[in-house]
Amino acid sequence: MRWDIFCRVVDNFGDAGVTWRLARQLHGELDAEVRLFIDHLPTLARLDHRIDTELAEQRLSGVKVCHWGNDLVVDRIADVVLETFACDTPEPYLEAMAQQSPPPIWINLEYLSAEDWVGRCHRLPSPHPRFPLIRYFFFPGFDDQTGGLLRESGLLAERDAFKASLETRQQFWATLGLQHPDEHTKVVTLFGYDTMQVHDLLEAWVHGPQPIRCLIPKDTPLAQRVAQQMACRAGLDHASKGALCVVWVPFRDQIDYDPLLWASDFNFVRGEDSFVRAQWAAHPMAWHIYPQMGHAHQIKLKAFLDRYLQGLEADLARRYRALFAAWNGEGSIADAWNALWPDWGKLEAHAQAWARQQADLPDLAHNLAEFAGKLL
């Protein structure tokens, strides 16, 4: 099948990250002919250094990447038209779709959510008010009533092989100019929006009972804030204080991000793409959800935690929920972190069980292709 995917970068990396990962999997595993129309190439270039921001068209990983500007030329219509995150298919393309007989399959890929209503709305049709077209709403999710999560076919085997091989892990740390951490050191990745207050968290690590190696991607507002708190000179790659060693690591390409999560003991993540990858890493994590007007994001966060925390004993689930709340600005992040320390092993086991549970479900790309295939 031929797929045309449309993506508008609203903010940060999630929109581009999800669509770029999906486009590559549709081509690589399902042999689809894929074009990705994206309106902001610099954002995509942060996730894949091979992207040339000056080119209107380029082909990478088998996907044709097209800059989506005001001068869009509709040269053909795909079998499946996928608009991501309600970005709206451009009007000239929509008009051309309406002239096709039969029209293409038109799907709107929605944001990931664990809310109960998602399963009821998944795959629902919506007729266009002016054109003889039907748009279907497709929801990623965490159960078999939704479209599932993005997961490449070999991802979990690659993860397990990485974790099982000391040599592979040592080679990974060497690429960062670091020694493999000793058994007493906990490694934490820190990736969050600039709204996050990190001062108390860093202080908890500085005065904590165990050495912490904190990895922060360079050239992000959060990295700059941490550097100020650690009183670093500009340009340093690491700084130590008390039990804490902060390491500023290069902002990694999307395909190189997973090993960073696999090599760490705890991952603070944000948005949607890194949020899903942290779950596949099968380590404890905390999600900094994108803030929305009227605190609507808190409803979405609660829905996820209601699912994710199932199976944990009640008191530990309460403490883990408090960490997520504090990471999103409600409560003391230092107190929440310290309260979880005695039960680290239980959190690790729970993260592994959750990843196995999700892996039993079909992945998003295959679910999308199956759905579109039945409609053609």
Q: Provide the pLDDT for residue 376.
A: 87
272: annotated active-site residue: yes
Q: Which of 15, 48, 83, 343 is catalytic?
A: 15
pTM of this structure: 0.95
> 39-59 pLDDT, tens per residue?
999 999 999 999 999 999 999
Instruction: Band the pLDDT of 197: cuts 50, 70, 90.
Output: confident
| Angstrom distance (rounded) from CA 270 to CA 373 | 33
Q: Provide the pLDDT for residue 61.
A: 97
Q: Provide the pLDDT for residue 20.
A: 97
Q: Provide the pLDDT for residue 233.
A: 58
H or E element at residue 335? helix 333-340
| Angstrom distance (rounded) from CA 233 to CA 235 | 6
> 362-375 pLDDT, tens per residue?
999 999 999 999 99
CATH number at residue 276: 3.40.50.2000
Read off φ and ψ for residue 170, nearest 5 degrees.
-65, -40
Q: Average pLDDT for residues 353-368, to the nearest whole number?
A: 98
Q: Which of 4, 48, 272, 363 is catalytic?
A: 272
15: annotated active-site residue: yes
* 260 touches 249 (CB < 8 A): yes
With H, G, I as helix, E, B as strand and everything else as coil, classify residue 67. strand
What's the total number of domains in the chain?
2
Tokens of 353: 């069980």
Say whether both 140 and 211 belong to one domain. Answer: no
> 11-37 pLDDT, tens per residue?
778 889 999 999 999 999 999 999 999
Neighbouring-strand partners of residue 216: 248
Say whether both 198 and 305 belong to one domain. Answer: yes
Say whether both 119 and 49 belong to one domain. Answer: yes
Say whether both 165 and 135 belong to one domain. Answer: no
Say whether both 368 and 353 belong to one domain. Answer: no
If one counts every other C-beta atom within 10 angstroms of the C-beta of residue 262, the result is 22
Instruction: Output the average pLDDT for the chain.
Output: 93
Structural domain of residue 265, as residue ranges? 155-359
Identify the residue with better confidence: 201 or 192. Answer: 201
Whose structure tokens read 């603070």? 268
Say whether both 10 and 101 belong to one domain. Answer: yes
Say whether both 292 and 238 belong to one domain. Answer: yes
> 294-344 pLDDT, tens per residue?
778 899 999 999 999 999 999 999 999 999 999 998 999 999 999 998 999
Say whether both 139 and 165 belong to one domain. Answer: no
> 84-123 pLDDT, tens per residue?
988 989 999 999 999 999 999 999 999 999 999 999 999 9
Instruction: Band the pLDDT of 277: cuts 50, 70, 90.
Output: very high
Say whether both 191 and 80 belong to one domain. Answer: no
Identify the residue with better confidence: 66 or 292. Answer: 66
- pLDDT at 234 > cutoff 60: no
Share of the chain above pLDDT 70, in %: 98
Q: How many alpha carbons lie under 13 Å from residue 167 in its C-beta half-sphere?
A: 0
Say whether both 221 and 353 belong to one domain. Answer: yes
Say whether both 68 and 199 belong to one domain. Answer: no
Identify the residue with better confidence: 144 or 227. Answer: 144
Say whether both 163 and 134 belong to one domain. Answer: no
